[in-house]
Amino acid sequence: MENKIIHDVNITGITVHNIDSSSGIFVGINNANYWTSQLKANQGFGPLSSSQAIQNINVVVDNDCIDAPIENNVQIPNRQDFIGVDVKKADEAALVNHHNIIQEINNIDVDAINVFSMDTNAAISVGENVLDGWSAHSKRNEGTGRSMGITEQILNTNIIMDQDIIDAQMNDVKITK
């Protein structure tokens, strides 16, 4: 494996319209391990981006007996408390498994990061970060999905019927080895 040393990273700007669940912008040496995301979504009319929606009737009927049971069992390796621990040394074993990993960055210069929308469990990480075991689980009923950009909605009707007996039961268990 070839060790690389980068002395300067200069980024003029990063513009992102949407960072979805369990996603991110990572600049530098970042370890995002054991992330999970589970989603159940019902939409009468999907997402809109720089659009116009006029006189729509959106109906979502979601009356299951048990709706969106989410079982998430993640096994995360046992780590030391990172207070006072050199992160490079703590994560060296994880980095060795990747080819052409940048081992050292002396300077990261980011002029601007513009994000218009971030969803659950999204991240913007600059520098050296360890982001282990993030979980995002959700159930959504939306008459009209997310609106992004310049979106105009006129005289729309959204009807959502979600008469579940058990709705969005989530069991998120993290097990450390």
Q: 82-112 pLDDT, tens per residue?
A: 444 454 555 554 545 444 445 556 677 888 9
Tell me if residue 76 falls in helix, strand or coil.
Answer: strand
CA distance 162 to 112: 42
User: Confidence band (pLDDT; 50, 70, 90) for 2?
Assistant: low
The pLDDT tens digits of the residues spanning 112-141 come to: 999 888 888 888 988 788 888 888 888 888
Taking the domains of the chain in order of start, what are their residue ranges? 4-176
Report whether 133 contacts 127 (CB < 8 A): no
CA distances from 7 to 13, 88, 107, 113 (A): 19, 17, 6, 21
pLDDT of residue 167: 84
The model scores a pTM over 0.75: no
Does 154 score more than 90 pLDDT? yes
